[in-house]
Each structure stands twice: as structure tokens, then as C-alpha cells.
């Protein structure tokens, strides 16, 4: 693979190395409370590759009382096809609450007004399509005290028997996160999110919609 040969060529020597392999990883872990009960969460993402071709990965999950809540992981190949944008294709695996694999594809990049945006389509192993939109932007209160506004929406395009959900919006999350960058790579944060989701709060019962506020404190680590 071209990627591997570039990787093996080692540190930059000569100009042919102008598209070398770099990597970026970010992990956020926090302790939250939702509707009075404790919930711990992680959210990791990153990439490895050249400026034009990268493998993007992400994982997010929850656990409480020693057991896992929802957990998913995703690995995507991304190609830079125009300024600010990557087209991505890959695989998503849900581990909890229902183990399920998906074909994943979409667009990721920086939209005008500094919104980091992801728009993904998924086809589950049962053949059911869904869509996810996510966006966030940073507002600088000071140079190190930074407010992130974020939102995510999951939308089932057909009924999903496996998840026991009717089609429609499955989940909406709006978040307000304030972090303090002690260093760029080390930032404690305070998180306040509003979540509206179906089915998951009372698993097994379809079409139950509940909203909740979640508050948490956590740590962002960048490598």
C-alpha cells in the first residue's frame, strides 16, 4: 500500500516527502449525571494518514453501575476531495445496546462559519438506512477558555426491527461544553447537554420518547 510505504520511509528527507503520514487523536472522558443517576462516558476520535488520504476512527460509549450503555465504534477511509472536505466510507459497529454492523459513508469537513460538520448515511446489516448529522463550533471566551456548541441528530429512514424503533428521529443531542485549555493537549471541561431520544431510556419499548438534561465534568486529552 502506498500509505504503508510512505510510513516506512521514515522522517522527511527530500521534497518527495511532502505528503507524509501524520496522526491525531483526541479522547474525552467524563463523569456525568443524567436524571439523577450517574453515567460515565467516553468519546474518542482521530485519524492517521496523509493530507489527502486518511483513516478516521471514532468510538463513543457510556457505562453506569458497572455495565455498558450504548457503545459504538467507527472506522472510515477519508479522501480529501476539495478544500475543507473529505468524502468518507467505512464501517460502524454498535456494541451496546444492540450489536449491529453498518456500512457507513458521508462527508466530513469544515463548513462556513467554522462549523465542524459530519453528514453520514448508514445501512445496517439488516439493510435499514439511517442518517446522522453532527456539527460543532468553538467560541473563544478567552484564549484558553473555550465554549463548544454542538449538536447531533440520528434519523431512521425506515422502521428498524432490530432496534425495535419506528422510523423517524431517533435521537437529538444539543450540547454546551466549556473547556479550559491548560495546554492545548490537556483541557478539563464542564458539559451540559439536552438529549431527546426514543427507545433507549426504556429499552424494549418502542416509540417512547424522553428528554433529559445531562451534566458532567471531564477531561480532554489530545495526542
Residues near other proteins, by CB under 8 A: 11-19, 22-24, 51, 80, 83-84, 110, 112-114, 139-144, 147, 184, 222
Tell me how far, at minimum, the Cβ of 189 lies from other proteins, in Å. 16
- Residues 154, 141: contact at Cβ < 8 Å? no
- Looking at the Cβ atoms of 26 and 93, the one nearer to other proteins is 26
- Looking at the Cβ atoms of 129 and 175, the one nearer to other proteins is 175
The alpha carbon of residue 135 and the mean position of all alpha carbons in its chain are separated, in whole angstroms, by: 10
Tell me how far, at minimum, the Cβ of 46 lies from other proteins, in Å. 9
Residues 139, 186: Cα–Cα separation, whole Å: 18
- Looking at the Cβ atoms of 5 and 143, the one nearer to other proteins is 143
Tell me how far, at minimum, the Cβ of 28 lies from other proteins, in Å. 15
- Looking at the Cβ atoms of 14 and 66, the one nearer to other proteins is 14
**For residue 153, which phi and psi values (nearest 5 degrees)?**
-135, 130
Tell me how far, at minimum, the Cβ of 122 lies from other proteins, in Å. 26
Tell me how far, at minimum, the Cβ of 109 lies from other proteins, in Å. 9
Tell me how far, at minimum, the Cβ of 144 lies from other proteins, in Å. 8
- Looking at the Cβ atoms of 96 and 181, the one nearer to other proteins is 181
- Looking at the Cβ atoms of 99 and 141, the one nearer to other proteins is 141
Give the per-residue SS3 of the chain. CHHHHHHHCCCCCCHHHCCCCEEEEEEEEEEEEECCEEEEEEEEEEEEECCCEEEEEEEEEEEECCEEEEEEEEEEEEEEEECCEEEEEEEEEEEECCCEEEEEEEEEEEECCCEEEEEEEEEECCCCEEEEEEEEEEEECCCCEEEEEEEEEEEECCCECCCCECCEEEEEEEEEEEEECCECCEEEEEEEEEEEEECCCCCCCCCCEEEEEEEEEEEEEEC
Amino acid at each position: 500500500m502506498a500509505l504503508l510505504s510512505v510510513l516506512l520511509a521514515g522522517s522527511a528527507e527530500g521534497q518527495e516527502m511532502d505528503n507524509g503520514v501524520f496522526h491525531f487523536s483526541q479522547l474525552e472522558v467524563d463523569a456525568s449525571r443524567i436524571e439523577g443517576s450517574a453515567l460515565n462516558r467516553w468519546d474518542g476520535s482521530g485519524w492517521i494518514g496523509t493530507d489527502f488520504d486518511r483513516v478516521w476512527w471514532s468510538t463513543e460509549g457510556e457505562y453506569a453501575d458497572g455495565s455498558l450503555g450504548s457503545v459504538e465504534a467507527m472506522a472510515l477511509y477519508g479522501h480529501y476531495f476539495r478544500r475543507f472536505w473529505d468524502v468518507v466510507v467505512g464501517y460502524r459497529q454498535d456494541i451496546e445496546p444492540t450489536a449491529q454492523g453498518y456500512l457507513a459513508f458521508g462527508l466530513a469537513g469544515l463548513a462556513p462559519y467554522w462549523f465542524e460538520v459530519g453528514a453520514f448515511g448508514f445501512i445496517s446489516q439488516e439493510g435499514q438506512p439511517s442518517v446522522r448529522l453532527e456539527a460543532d463550533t468553538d467560541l473563544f471566551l478567552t484564549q484558553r477558555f473555550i465554549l463548544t456548541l454542538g449538536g447531533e441528530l440520528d434519523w431512521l429512514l425506515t422502521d428498524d426491527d432490530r432496534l425495535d424503533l419506528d422510523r423517524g428521529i431517533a435521537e437529538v443531542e444539543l450540547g454546551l461544553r466549556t473547556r479550559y485549555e491548560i495546554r492545548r493537549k490537556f483541557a478539563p471541561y464542564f458539559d451540559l447537554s439536552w438529549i431527546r431520544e426514543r427507545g433507549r431510556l426504556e429499552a424494549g419499548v418502542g416509540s417512547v420518547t424522553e428528554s433529559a438534561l445531562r451534566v458532567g465534568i471531564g477531561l480532554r486529552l489530545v495526542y
